Amino acid sequence: MTISHLFLWLTAAIWGLAFVAQSVGMESIGPYTFNAVRFTLAALSMLPLAYLLERHRKSDFGLTLKAGMMTGLVLFSGATLQQIGLLYTSTANAGFITAMYMLFVPIIGLFLKHTIERHTWLGIFLALGGLYFLTIGPNLTIQKGDGLELIGAIFWAVHVLLIGFYSRKVPIISYSIVQFVVVALLSWILAFSAEQPTWHGIQLSWLPLLYTGVASSALAFSLQILGQKNVSPSAAALILSTEAVFAAIGGWWLMNEVLSILELMGCVLIFIGMIISQWPRQTRATKPVL
C-alpha cells in the first residue's frame, strides 16, 4: 500500500464516521441548524486551501459562481434529506443507502445517452436486492428515514454528475466554497424559520460540528486530492466506497447500533454491488496502425 492509498483510506474513514457525528450532533440542535453551522465551517475551512492553491490561477468568476450556485442547490437538497433522515434511521443504513449514489450515477447517465456496461448492471441489481433487505419492512413498506436517505442519494448522484461537468471548467476549491456558502445560507434560512437555534445548543454540539465542518470537508478534501494523484480513478472509487462500511462500524462502536441478519445481508449485497460496478476492467490493447 502506498501513501496515496493510505490518504484515500483515511478519507473514506473520515467520511464514514461523519455519519456518527451528524447523528450525535442533533442531540442538542435541529438538522437545519446543524447543516447551517457545518457548512459555514466548511466554507471557512476551505478558504486557506483556495488561497494556497488557486490564488494565481486565472478563472471565469461568473462561471464559477453560476456553477457553484447550481451545484450548491443540489448539494443542499442531498445534505438536508440526509440530515433529516438520520433522525429516523441508523448510521449504517444512512451510510449504505447514501452510497447507492455510485449506482444511480450510471442510471441517470442513461438519460444523457451514456451507456452502462454489463458488470455495472450486475452491481446495480445486487445493490437493489440489498436495498430491499436493508430497508423494506412488513407489507412492503419503507421506513421514513431510509426513504429520505434514498431520495437524497439521487441528489448525491446528480451532484457527482454536475461536479464531473464543471470541475474541468472552474477552480475546484473555489467552486466548492461557493457550494458550501449556498448550502449554509439556505440552511440558516430554514433554521431560523423552522427551528430555534441557540448558541448554547451549538456549543453542546461543537465537536460533531467541528468534525463534519472541518475534518470531513477541508481535511478529507485535501487527502482525496493527494490520494487521487497517484491512484487510478477506479481504484480510488473502490476505496472511497468503503465509507459506508466505516459508517456501520462507527454506529456499532460509538452508538451501540446493532443490525439484524437481514439488514446485514442487505449491507453486504449493496457493498458487493458497489465493488462489482466500480471494479477496474482491463481493455484490450489495440494494434498500432503502421
In tens, the pLDDT along 78-135 reads 999 999 999 999 999 999 898 888 888 888 878 877 777 788 888 888 888 888 888 8
CB atoms within 10 A of CB 51: 10
Contact 7, 222 (CB under 8 A): no
- Residue 178: predicted pLDDT: 94
Residue 283 inside a domain? The answer is no
Residue 56 inside a domain? The answer is yes
Residue 230 inside a domain? The answer is yes
Return the C-alpha torsion angle 104, 107, 111, 114, nearest 10.
Answer: 120
Report residue 211's pLDDT band, with 50, 70 and 90 as the boundaries.
very high
Cα 104 from chain centroid (whole Å): 13
- Residue 286: predicted pLDDT: 38
pTM score: 0.86
pLDDT at residue 14 greater than cutoff 90: yes
Residue 284 inside a domain? The answer is no
Residue 288 inside a domain? The answer is no
- Residue 224: predicted pLDDT: 84
Residues 6+ apart with CB under 8 A from 264: none
Split into its structural domains, the chain has a count of: 1
CA distance 151 to 58: 37
User: What average pLDDT does the segment 40-49 reach?
Assistant: 92
Residue 290 inside a domain? The answer is no
Report residue 75's pLDDT band, with 50, 70 and 90 as the boundaries.
very high
More confident residue, 43 or 160: 43
Structural domain boundaries enclosing 224: 3-278
Grid cell 470531513 — which residue? 216
> ∠ CA 76-15-39 to the nearest 5 degrees?
35
